[in-house]
A and B are shown apart, each in its own frame.
Chain A
Amino acid sequence: MSLLLASPELELVFSALLLTLVAGLVVALLAARSVLTCILLMSAFSLTMALWLMTMDAPDVAFTEASVGAGVSTMILLGAALSSTDVIPSLRPGRLWFPAVACLAAFIGMALIVPDLPVFGDPGSPPSAYVGRLYLEQTPHDIGAPNVVTAVLASYRGFDTLGETTVIFAAGVGVLLLLGGQVRSPDAAPEDVSLRASAGSPVLSVAARLLIPIICLYAFYVLAHGEFGAGGGFQAGVILAAALILHALVFGVRETMKALPVGVVRACAALGVLGYAAVGFLAILNGGRFLDYDALLSPVFEAGLPSSHLAGGHHHWGQRIGILAIETGVMLAVASTMTAIFYAFTGRVSRSDAAGAS
C-alpha cells in the first residue's frame, strides 16, 4: 500500500481510522436494541472489515467477506428476523457477568498473544517461510495459474475444498431440516391483496431487469477469472444467488419459484458436490490420484492442444480444465444452497401468515 499512502505513518493512521470505525460499529451493535438495527450495523461492519482486508492486500478474502458477510448473511438474518420477534429482550444485568468475564478473558488472552505474532508481511514468519513459500515458488511450474490463492484452494488443496463444499451442502440441508423442509408451492402461496397498489413500481422493475442478467454474467466472469485474479467458485456462487434473490425481492418469490422450482434448486446443490467429486474419480479412472488434474487429459490429446501462453507449456491444460470444472461445481453447490435457504425462509414466512389468516 506504499503507493497509496506516502509513508508508513500514514498507513498506520489509515489502519487506525478503519479499526476505530470497526470498534465503533461493534459498540453500537452492543447498544442496539432492535434486531433490524443490528442487521444494518452488521452489514456496515462487514463492509468496513472487507475494506480493511483490502488494505492488507487480500482481495480474495475481501471479495468473500463482501459477498457473504454483507450480502447473503444480511438476507438470511432478515429472513430469520422476520420469523422471530422484533425487539431483543433486554438482558438483565445479573445475567451479564458470565459473558462479560468470558469476553474479558478472551480479550486478555489475545492481547497477550499479539506481541509474539510475526510482523505483518514478514517473509521469515512461519506461514510465509515453509509451505507458503513452497506454494509461491512451485505454482508457476505445477499449476500455471497466476492467482496462487486459486491454485492452492482448487488444486494443491482440492480435497480440502471438496470437504468445504460438502460442509456448505450439509449446512444447507441442516437449515432446511430445521425450517421444516416443506416449502409452499408457488401457486398455493397466499397473495396479499393490499400489496397490489404498491406492486407497480416501474423504476425498480426496470432496474432489476437490467441488472439481473448483468449480475449473472458477472458471476460467470468471476468464476472463469478466479484463476487469474480475485474470485472463484465460492464468490461466483454467492453472486449468482444474489441475482436470484434480487429477482425474488423485486418480482416476488412466487415468480422466482416458477422460473426455478424448489426441487431443481435442491437437486442442483447436490449435483454441484457430486460434480466436484466426479472430477476426482475421473482422474482416478485415467490412472492418476483423486483430484489429480494432470491425469484428466490423456497425454496424446494434451499434446495436440496449443501450448499455454503461461510458463510451463501445455501440461497445464489438465490443471486449467480441472480447476474450472471443480469451481463450476462449487459455484453450483453454493448458489443452489443459498437459494434453497432463501426459499425456505420466505416460504416459511408465507406459511405462517397463511396459518394466522385461516
Chain B
Amino acid sequence: MAEAIGWIGAVLVIAAVGLSIAGAVGVLRFPDVYTRIHAASITDTGAASLMTLGLLLMAGFSPAAIKLCIVWVFIMLTSPAAAHALAGAAFGSGHRPVLADPRQPSEDEA
C-alpha cells in the first residue's frame, strides 16, 4: 500500500515536470506576451501543486512537509499576482493582444 502511494507520488512529480516543460514550450512558441503569461502562470501554479502533492505522497508527514506546504502557498499567492501585475503593466504600456482574425482588428489597436 505504502509503495503504491509512493508510486502515485512519483507519477505526480513527473507530471509536474512534464507540465513545466509544456509551459516552457508554450512561453517559447506562443505569439504574444499575453498568451505567454497565460502559459507560464497556469503551468507554474499547476506544476507547483502537482509537485507538492507528489512529494507529500512520497515522503509522508514530517516537519519538511509543512515547509513544503508553505512553499506551495507562497507560489499560489505570488505567481498569479505577478502574472496579473505583468499583464496589467503590458496592457497599460500600450501592448495589445494579437487577435486571431486579422480582418477584424480591435478598435483600440494602436
Interfacial residues, chain A to chain B (CB-CB below 8 A): 198, 201, 203-204, 207, 210-211
Contact = CB atoms under 8 A, between A and B. Distances in A.
Closest 9 CB pairs of A and B: A207-B81, A203-B84, A204-B85, A203-B81, A198-B92, A207-B77, A204-B81, A210-B77, A201-B88
Contacts of B85: 201, 203-204
A194 to B, nearest CB: 11
B106 interface: no
A24 B39 CA distance: 24
Given A201-B84, A207-B78, A207-B81, 5 more contacts: A201-B85, A201-B88, A203-B80, A204-B84, A204-B85
Nearest to A203: B84
Contacts of A210: 77
A204 B80 CA distance: 10
Nearest to A205: B81
Nearest to A214: B74
Interface of B: 74, 77-78, 80-81, 84-85, 88, 92
A198 B93 CA distance: 11
A204 B84 CA distance: 8
Contacts of A211: 74, 77-78
A203 B74 CA distance: 15
A203 B78 CA distance: 10
Contacts of B77: 207, 210-211
A6 B92 CA distance: 49
Nearest to A206: B81
Contacts of B84: 201, 203-204
A207 B81 CA distance: 7
12 contacts: A198-B88, A201-B85, A201-B88, A203-B81, A203-B85, A204-B81, A204-B85, A207-B77, A207-B78, A207-B81, A211-B77, A211-B78
A203 B88 CA distance: 11
Nearest to B89: A198
A198 B91 CA distance: 11
A313 B89 CA distance: 58
A210 B81 CA distance: 12
B11 to A, nearest CB: 18
A184 B80 CA distance: 34
Contacts of B92: 198
B51 to A, nearest CB: 15
Contacts of A204: 81, 84-85
A273 B79 CA distance: 37
A201 B92 CA distance: 12
A204 B85 CA distance: 7
A203 B81 CA distance: 6
Nearest to A215: B74
A216 to B, nearest CB: 14
Interface core residue of A203, A210, A211 (most chain B CB under 10 Å) = A203
Contacts of B74: 211
Contacts of A201: 84-85, 88
B72 to A, nearest CB: 13
Contacts of A198: 88, 92
A211 B85 CA distance: 15
Interface core residue of B74, B78, B81, B85 (most chain A CB under 10 Å) = B81
Nearest to A197: B92
Nearest to B91: A198
A199 to B, nearest CB: 11
Contacts of B80: 203
Contacts of A203: 80-81, 84-85
